[in-house]
Chain A
Amino acid sequence: MKTTTLISIGLGLAIVAALLIMPLYMARYSLYILSMWAVMTIAAIGLNLTLGYAGQISLAQGAFVGIGAYAAGILTTAHGWPLLSVLPLAALLCFVIGWGLGYPALRVQHHYLAFVTLAFSTLAFLIFRNEEWLTKGVYGIENIKRPIIFGWNTFRPLPFYYLCLAALAVTTALTWWIVHSPWGRAFLALRENPLRAQSLGIDTRRYTLMAFAIGSAFGGVSGVFYAPLVEFIEPGAFTLALSLNILLMVIVGGSGFFFGPFVGALIAVLLPEWLRFTKGYYLILYAVLVMILLVYSPKGILGFIEGWLADRRTRRASATRAAAEPSLRAETQS
């Protein structure tokens, strides 16, 4: 086995171990941040499917998180549903809405989905704010309880963190399956060369639609866990700003890379903490840093690392070649 593969596996195991063991020693607030990272990564994984794999911009991922969150908030507080039973409903609802938005938007070659999702984002916010009878409007839904699953009580930060981590693990597994099936190959084809893909019988529109619908469903799932994490939701949390935030997570991590969302979400969640000293300016700094990153490494952080590794490999190869040359030259000169 190649050394790089061994290193990757080792690194992966170390990270999983850290995610499982470190929290046992973490304070309440740190656990909250880590749980937020896990939940946001689920949303980012969904958007990565749409953007990174199928090449479409969605500006509604925040709205789908909102739909999932409100589904959880409404059904658990007002109707006593257990949280996990909200999951399939939220996922299905977001899938169907995603399909409904994407179907007309993807008929045309241009990037219309971006604008349609932008407009939908506005609409979703209006519904959250105006339909008080359902969402309690600007007053929000409070006291969203964390679930008890088969007797396991997740009220406290540590068990709830493990629940979020489990949700992330399942999402990751599902995405791994999708990406490594023939669908993954089709996505790569339609992203790289849609015309060629079509000439091979790939229904590019349908695959893109699927990616977008599934990605949106993941947004809903993220929302279902977001609600009990923050315990109080109001419409202002699910505006275009959230969608842009999730988009930047995918971009900064590396669009189209499997682990991009993990990296991007980590940065997005930690940065406000680190840059707390800059007070209101951290968002400006973040946006400027993103622009600079895009200019020099449009494939994000993981793209940068991949490029750097490839560079080293070619440099090493040319160095080996150069080392072999002097002996040839010596031969030809004699």
Chain B
Amino acid sequence: MTSVLEVFDLKKSFGGIKAVDGVSFEVREGEILGIIGPNGCGKSTLFNCILGQLSPTDGRVALDGRDITGISPAALNRLGVSRTFQLLQVFPELSVRDNLILAGQEHQGTMLSRLFGASDAGLGVQADRMITFFNLQHLAGVKAGGLSYGQQKLLDAAMAFMAGPRLVLLDEPAGGVNLTMLESLKERLQAMNREHGATFVVIEHNMDFVMSLCSRVLVLAEGRVLAEGTAEDVRRNPAVIDAYLGH
């Protein structure tokens, strides 16, 4: 089983505060890894360091063995890593279909070929496929700003998959979504994983969501890895229960 992502002893400090204090783990191909932990445990900081939004104080990150520590978010995306955002970030002025095409277009050809090529960068069919997969058919031409919050979350997830990525990082995908929509989201993510072998990492607060979706779970506390294992193992781990009871 190959490792898609490897994190070696990652550290990030802000002045005197050690937000991430030596975290190491790997993400195996085809798995859905969950990262959980109480508030302030360093999940978001860890994520942002991996994604190039912040430069780590120390440590390394490798994608398929290739060092990607601190590279720009755009370059990382082109290497095959995509993400969703905790605070929803779809483009409200573009239609659902256009949002999807946008999400994939930078991976088609070069900048120049994109100027002279088709208006949809050859992604029209794939965008339609994605729309069907996420059950957004009736909304394809609607401006993304007019969608409900849950629908935007689905769009956000769909956008992450447009470029056929190697790895998808989902930042609190369950936040603020109603139960029915949450079920669809979870079901679609599982389908994506099953049918396309997509590898993802999910940061979440919602325990049920994580436990039912993820094959393996990592627990962080105070910037360090507290526990690692299957959902069941982690749920029963006394140290984990302790860490959460304090919050």
Across the interface, which residues of A come within 8 angstroms of B120, CB to CB? 182
Across the interface, which residues of A come within 8 angstroms of B152, CB to CB? none
Across the interface, which residues of A come within 8 angstroms of B117, CB to CB? 181-182
B121 on interface, CB distance cutoff 8 Å: yes
User: Within the assembled complex, what's the spacing in Å between the Cα atoms of A168 and B94?
Assistant: 28
User: Within the assembled complex, what's the spacing in Å between the Cα atoms of A180 and B119?
Assistant: 6
How many A residues touch B, CB cutoff 8 Å? 23
Nearest residue, chain B, Cβ from A200 = B103
Q: Is the CB of A188 within 8 A of B94?
A: yes
Q: Is the CB of B74 within 8 A of A204?
A: yes
A-B pair count, CB < 8 Å, reads 77
A311 on interface, CB distance cutoff 8 Å: no
Q: Is the CB of B159 within 8 A of A200?
A: yes
Interface membership of chain B positions 61-94, coded 1 if the CB is closer than 8 angstroms to chain A and 0 otherwise: 0000000000011100110001101000101111
- Knowing A198-B77, A202-B74, say if A188 contacts B107 (CB, 8 Å): no
Q: Is the CB of A199 within 8 A of B105?
A: no
B125 on interface, CB distance cutoff 8 Å: no
Across the interface, which residues of B come within 8 angstroms of A181, CB to CB? 114-117, 119
Interface membership of chain A positions 199-223, coded 1 if the CB is closer than 8 angstroms to chain B and 0 otherwise: 1111110110010000000000000
Nearest residue, chain A, Cβ from B106 = A201
Majority DSSP secondary structure for residues of A touching B: helix
Which 7 residue pairs across A and B have the least CB separation, nearest first?
Answer: A201-B77, A201-B106, A196-B89, A182-B114, A198-B74, A182-B121, A198-B73
Give chain A's interface residues, CB within 8 Å of chain B.
Answer: 178, 180-183, 185-186, 188-189, 192-193, 195-196, 198-204, 206-207, 210
17 A-B pairs in the complex with CB atoms less than 8 angstroms apart: A181-B114, A181-B119, A182-B101, A182-B105, A182-B114, A182-B117, A186-B105, A189-B91, A189-B102, A192-B93, A195-B53, A198-B77, A199-B74, A199-B85, A200-B77, A200-B102, A201-B77
Give chain B's interface residues, CB within 8 Å of chain A.
Answer: 51, 53, 72-74, 77-78, 82-83, 85, 89, 91-94, 98, 101-103, 105-108, 111, 114-117, 119-121, 159, 163
